[in-house]
Chains A and B, each alone.
Chain A
Amino acid sequence: MTIERTHFSEPTLALGGQGTAGDYFALLKPRVMSLVIFTAIVGLFAAPGYIHPWLGFITILCIALGAGASGALNMWYDADIDAVMKRTQQRPIPSGAIQPGEALGFGLTLAVASVIMFGLFVNWQAAALLAFTIFFYVVIYSMVLKRWTAQNIVIGGAAGAFPPMISWVAVTHQVDLGSISLFLLIFMWTPPHFWALALFREGDYEKAGVPMLPNVVGRPETRKQILIYSLLLVPTVALPCFTGTAGLLYAVGAGLLTSLFLKHAFDVYRLADGPAGDKACKKLFGFSIFWLFAVFALILIERIAQLPAFGNIFQ
């Protein structure tokens, strides 16, 4: 009887294993993560109460890792769509740098590690909310809503709105009105932001078969919806002033910023198709990113400068 020998003297390349550390970093969607980190920091400062600075750092780290895990799992599931769309063709999976299975393993490991670490080191209420956020983004948004309904952005926007609420719960151990007001800011901002993008990237979404509002109900209706949601931002942006979360600086600054947001949204509505209309969409998309950073920055400045907030009328 002879035993067949396998020679391992020469290292061999199995399928995969070719991604660099940079490719894995790209899998975490760093640009989205920066927004998550910033809004989570604001939630941490805005929450009433004290958290040890090191545990505050762990909170932000765990939320960032959870957001990165969601990004990796989203890229694993959406690899087929990403390969078709021009904007996403260079992502690590469609470009072949990382195999889908590797992205899945990486995302799951990060998701489990971030939630367990958060629960053990900070508190389990916040960890449960982080776990729910990852589930919501990956299963509810990516697997169900995104390919099924043109309302994907409206409902799925909740996933991006949770980070300040999670960091708030890390401090207070509970969800209260202040954290809900921060959640609503991002939740109501998401539809006009993404629909403005969809208006000038419509072809991409249509090619991939993703039901975005412009390719389902048409461009005029999308413009109308952008204006409606932008108007709904007005009471939403005022809410932190009534929950004891924000004060005068925020009221004045956010008021001015939201007026400009409305102006851009009205331009999108007014200037129908054509170069001027496309330019208006791009302007609204760019300004909406600035608006979110600036509005949250105002809350952060008020907290750091210890400026007084208006009273909570709900108490």
Chain B
Amino acid sequence: MNNKSPPKPFSPEDLKRRRKRAAVMAWCLVALIALFFVTTLVQLGKLGVSKM
């Protein structure tokens, strides 16, 4: 027999909060991709690849 109480459903406020958090995470991910891209260019420049 399962004594666990059923999980509470999301309220509209919970869903709104979750959507906002997901949007912030998406922007962080985009920023991280841009960061990696620019850093790669800078490192390649330091190695002199751009002058080849």
Please report A residues at the B interface, Cβ cutoff 8 Å.
Answer: 10-14, 17-21, 24, 52, 54-55, 58, 61, 121
Interface size on B, residues (CB 8 A): 19
The total number of A-B Cβ pairs within 8 Å is 40
Main secondary structure of the interface of B (DSSP, over half): helix
Please report B residues at the A interface, Cβ cutoff 8 Å.
Answer: 6-11, 14-15, 17-18, 20-21, 24, 35, 38-39, 42-43, 46
B7 touches which of A14, A18, A24, A121 (Cβ 8 Å):
A14
User: With A21-B20, A21-B21, A52-B46 as given contacts, are A11 and B39 in contact (CB-CB < 8 Å)?
Assistant: no
Whole-angstrom CA separation of A52 from B47 in the bound complex: 13
Chain B residues closer than 8 Å to A24, beta-carbon distance: 21
Question: Could you give 21 example pairs across A and B, Cβ below 8 Å?
Answer: A11-B15, A12-B7, A12-B8, A12-B10, A13-B9, A13-B10, A14-B7, A17-B14, A17-B18, A18-B14, A20-B20, A20-B21, A21-B21, A21-B24, A24-B21, A52-B42, A54-B39, A54-B42, A58-B35, A61-B35, A121-B43
Chain A residues closer than 8 Å to B14, beta-carbon distance: 13, 17-18
Min Cβ gap A66→B in Å is 16
Min Cβ gap A173→B in Å is 14
Assess the A10–B39 pair: CB atoms within 8 A: no
User: With A11-B10, A12-B10 as given contacts, are A55 and B17 in contact (CB-CB < 8 Å)?
Assistant: no
**Most A-side CB within 10 Å, residue of B15, B38, B42:** B42
Whole-angstrom CA separation of A293 from B10 in the bound complex: 45
Chain B residues closer than 8 Å to A21, beta-carbon distance: 20-21, 24
